[in-house]
Each structure stands twice: as C-alpha cells, then as structure tokens.
C-alpha cells in the first residue's frame, strides 16, 4: 500500500507542530475521528490525498443510503463533490481514502456488514476512477473492528477483521493531544442533544405548546394582517407617487413619499401592548442570561439536563412559536459570537428538544439556529448535523437550506457574521418609531382572530406553519 495520510504542517505553521505519517489501515481507522472532528456513524466518508506523500486534504461525508439501488448515484455525487471542491481550492486530489461506517442490524454480524457493503465500496472506487482519481484504500468499520477491501492477503487482513486500536494509544492520538485537539462526540451524541424528548415530560410540554397556540396564534395572525395591510398601503402610495411624477404632477411627490414610509416595523407596539416578536426576543435574552449564570456541569448529558430544568414548559412553548416568524428568527440569529454565542447555542438546543409530538416540524427554526451558532463558534460538525436535522424536520426550510449549502461549500462564516452585524447595528442605532394603536384589519385570506384560528390544536398548528412559510 502507498504511504498514505501524512499530516504535514501548512505554510506558516510552527516547526514545533508534529508531522504524523499513517502507514496502515489500522492507523487510518484510528485517525478518522480526528480528521472529521467527530466519530461518524452510518456514514460514507471520502478523504482526498495530495502529493507523493499522500497529504490529507478535503473530505466529504454522507449517510449510507438504505436502498442499494441508490448507491451508484450517491457514489457519483460524492466523488464529484470531493474532486470539485478540491479543484475550487486549487489542488486536484491525487488519490482518495474511503471509509464505510455501519453497525450491524439485528442478528447481523460485522463480517456480514462488510460483505453487504462490498458493492458500495466497488461503486465508490469506480466513481472516483471515472474522474481519474484512484482510491488507494477502502476501510469498513463495524462492531469495534475494521476490514479493508483493497488487501487480499488474509494473513494481514483476516476475514474476521482486526480490532480497532484502543482510543488514545496511537501516534496520531498522542500528537493530537500534544496540540490540544480532542476527538469530538459521536454523531449519536450530537443528535441526542437535539432530538425531541420521549420521556414523560414530553406530554406536559405538548400541553404547553397547545396552550401557547391558543394565546399567541390570534395575536400572530392580527400582526400578520396589519403588516400585510401596511405593505399594501405602502405599495399603493409608492405607485401613486410614481404615477404622479410620470404625469408631471411634481407637487404630489413630496407628499406621497413620506406617506409611503410612515408605516412601522414588525416590532412596533400593537393593540395588546408589545408585539410577539419583541416579547420573544426579550424572553430569549432573559433565559440566555439564566443559562449563562448556571454552574457548569460535568458531562454533556448533565449539562443538557441542567439547561432543561432552567426553562419552564410555557417559556419554551412561547419561544418555539415566536421563532416561527422569520423576522424574529433572523434577529435571534444575531446572537452568534462573543459572550452571547454559547448561551444562545444552549437555548436553541434546549428548544429543539422541546418540539415534541405533533410539533416536530416546529423544530426546524431552533435546529437551524443551533446549527448556525455552532458553525459560527467553530464547531462545523455540530453545525452540519443540526442543519441536516432541521431539513429533516422541514425539507423546504429556506434558512436551513442556505446555511447547509454554505457549510458544505466550506464557506467562511465570517461573511455571514458581517452581514448580521450590519443588520444589528442598523436596527439598534435607528431612532425608535412612536407606537401606534391601529385597528386590526384582516388581510385577504387571513381569518379574523376573534373566533380563533380554526378549531382544535391541529388546525392551529397548520395556521402557524403558514405564517412561518410566508417569509422563511
């Protein structure tokens, strides 16, 4: 086997940083969590190699498709994604190392998993070969053992597989520890922090969500109707000003312009007092401060349980509904760095766990926020996992679609942070508009709130989703 996987220092790196050369499939399998930042499960992983010494480059990961008929198409797309991404960065790969990670199902053994996935390994090699990029090694990891598809010698690669190296005992593990790098959580652990409750508390949380729908949906509908009416009046005023200018009535322009711009923003005072958006953001800030002041916990599970205890069911329900409005969610996305970032991420994780029962689709908003903040804080692995879960909750959620595409294209999150900073400075620095009490009007197709948005929680949930989809 060629000499693979040298982790060489980049230009400008310190000469004190170690250079590690991986020579065997066992060392490659041990390196995978360090290369990805987490321990993959149920995954196909392709890693690019560059130069004669096989320096590690770009990498792509995707879940193993359940249907074998999908394997050729997925292999083609993964190969094109890896090679295309490397070419965009100016370095076409000279080879690829592939990993197949899957645990047995039912009474299946690890060796049976290897044989079942053998056709997948072959289509991966074929897909990369079509792009003139050879696959030097394909390693299958299952049940704490590994197998190689590229070595026919049973003396070094027996049919029963080889046990994985004990964590922390390899040369790479020692070098990573020296540099302060630790392998991240497994995919299962990351998903567990974002998955809705299945405990007895889920029933109480669903009741709180039903109660919040009765209280908040009529107000959200009234505010949506007011905004629709204001937008229609603004458009009519602008059209009148334009027509007046075209007709030569110069005196109408100065009046029509201010009239078009006199309407307020979503956060203005409405007939009930503060808008739902303002209340949502204020409650989120207070809970973030509460989470930040809590004493640290020893482990991930303990930390999540502590955060869950600090958030009441009705508070979580109010926030989940408030975040369904895209403008409110976008304001919340501005808490993505500095002292605000960590407590915001903890809050979005906790809200994702509260989208229980029939409210599973509502998790798209907090999951997308969790993915964005995790990515912004430097944890790309959790960011991609959370954004993928957001799209599983709602495959058309545009906010998650855009962020997921940016993550997968290895975009620098700083460009998004700069945009959000400018928006925050704009609305924080703008002089406050005087509050107005307006008689609520019903926009076309929007039911009046006096009788409630339909009957029953299922109808209310559909209405809330329509509000969210109006501008997500």
Q: What are 154's two structure tokens? A: 């049973």
Using N-to-C axis directions, what is the helix angle for 201-246 and 253-260, rounded to 10°?
180
Q: What's the pLDDT at 190?
A: 86
Q: What's the pLDDT at 349?
A: 96
As averages over each run of 10 residues, the pLDDT of the chain (472 residues) reads: 42 48 73 78 89 82 89 92 86 90 89 93 93 91 88 82 74 68 73 90 93 84 72 68 57 39 39 70 95 89 92 94 90 93 95 94 95 91 90 91 84 89 80 44 39 49 56 56
Please state, in angstroms and as integers, the Cα–Cα distance from residue 233 to each residue in 251, 261, 263, following that order: 20, 10, 9
Pairing of strands 162-163, 43-50: unpaired
> Distance between the two ends of the chain, CA-based, in angstroms?
51
282: enclosing H helix or E strand? helix 276-293
Given strand 162-163, what is the order of strands in its sheet? 20-22, 4-7, 55-63, 43-50, 95-101, 135-142, 145-148, 162-163
Contact in structure between 20 and 177 (CB atoms under 8 Å)? no
* Ranges of H-type helices in 338-413: 341-353, 364-376, 380-393, 398-408
- Backbone torsion region of residue 456, taken as left when φ is above 0, otherwise alpha when ψ lies between -120 and 50, otherwise beta: left
DSSP letter assigned to residue 273 = B
Q: Please, which residues have CB within 8 angstroms of residue 184's CB and are 6 or more apart in sequence?
A: 33, 37, 38, 39, 190, 379, 381, 382
Q: Please, which residues have CB within 8 angstroms of residue 185's CB and are 6 or more apart in sequence?
A: 38, 39, 300
Strand boundaries in 9-116, DSSP class E: 20-22, 43-50, 55-63, 95-101
Q: What's the pLDDT at 339?
A: 92
Contact in structure between 196 and 352 (CB atoms under 8 Å)? yes
Q: What's the pLDDT at 456?
A: 55
Contact in structure between 190 and 39 (CB atoms under 8 Å)? no
Q: What's the pLDDT at 180?
A: 64
């Amino acid at each position: 086997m060629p000499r693979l996987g040298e982790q060489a220092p980049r230009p400008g790196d310190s000469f004190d940083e170690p250079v590690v050369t991986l020579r065997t499939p066992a060392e490659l399998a041990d390196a995978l969590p360090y290369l990805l930042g987490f321990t993959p499960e149920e995954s196909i992983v392709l890693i690019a190699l560059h130069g004669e010494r096989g320096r590690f480059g770009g990498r792509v990961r995707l879940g193993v498709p359940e249907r074998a008929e999908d394997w050729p198409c997925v292999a083609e797309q993964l190969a094109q994604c890896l090679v295309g991404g490397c070419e965009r960065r100016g370095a076409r790969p000279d080879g690829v190392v592939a990993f197949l990670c899957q645990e047995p199902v039912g009474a299946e053994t690890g060796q049976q998993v290897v044989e079942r996935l053998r056709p997948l390994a072959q289509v991966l090699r074929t897909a990369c070969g079509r792009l003139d990029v050879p696959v030097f090694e394909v390693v299958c990891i299952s049940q704490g053992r590994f197998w190689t598809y590229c070595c026919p010698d049973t003396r070094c690669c027996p049919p029963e597989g080889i046990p994985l190296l004990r964590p922390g005992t390899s040369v790479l593990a020692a070098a990573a520890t020296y540099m302060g790098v630790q392998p991240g959580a497994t995919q299962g652990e990351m998903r567990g922090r974002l998955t809705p409750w299945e405990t007895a508390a889920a029933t109480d949380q669903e009741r709180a969500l039903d109660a919040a729908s009765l209280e908040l949906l009529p107000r959200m509908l009234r505010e949506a109707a007011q905004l629709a009416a204001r937008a229609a009046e603004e458009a009519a005023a602008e059209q009148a000003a334009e027509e007046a200018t075209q007709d030569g009535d110069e005196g109408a322009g100065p009046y029509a312009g201010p009239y078009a711009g006199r309407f307020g923003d979503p956060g203005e005072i409405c007939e009930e007092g503060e808008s739902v958006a303002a209340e949502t953001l204020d409650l989120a800030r207070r809970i973030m401060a509460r989470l930040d002041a809590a004493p640290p916990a020893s482990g991930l599970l303990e930390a999540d349980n502590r955060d869950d205890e600090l958030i009441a069911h009705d508070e979580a329900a109010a926030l989940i509904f408030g975040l369904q409005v895209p403008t409110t969610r976008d304001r919340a996305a501005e808490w993505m760095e500095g002292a605000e970032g960590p407590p915001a991420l903890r809050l979005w994780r906790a809200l994702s766990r509260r989208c229980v029962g029939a409210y599973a689709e509502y998790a798209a908003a907090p999951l997308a926020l969790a993915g964005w903040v995790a990515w912004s804080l430097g944890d790309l692995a959790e960011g991609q996992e959370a954004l993928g879960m957001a799209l599983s909750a709602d495959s058309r959620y545009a906010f998650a679609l855009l962020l997921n595409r940016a993550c997968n294209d290895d975009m620098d999150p700083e460009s998004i942070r700069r945009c959000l900073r400018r928006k925050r400075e704009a609305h924080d620095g703008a002089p406050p508009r005087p509050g107005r009490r307006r008689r609520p009007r019903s926009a076309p197709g929007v039911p009046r709130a006096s009788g409630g948005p339909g009957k029953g929680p299922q109808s209310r949930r559909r209405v809330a989703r329509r509000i969210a989809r109006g501008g997500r």
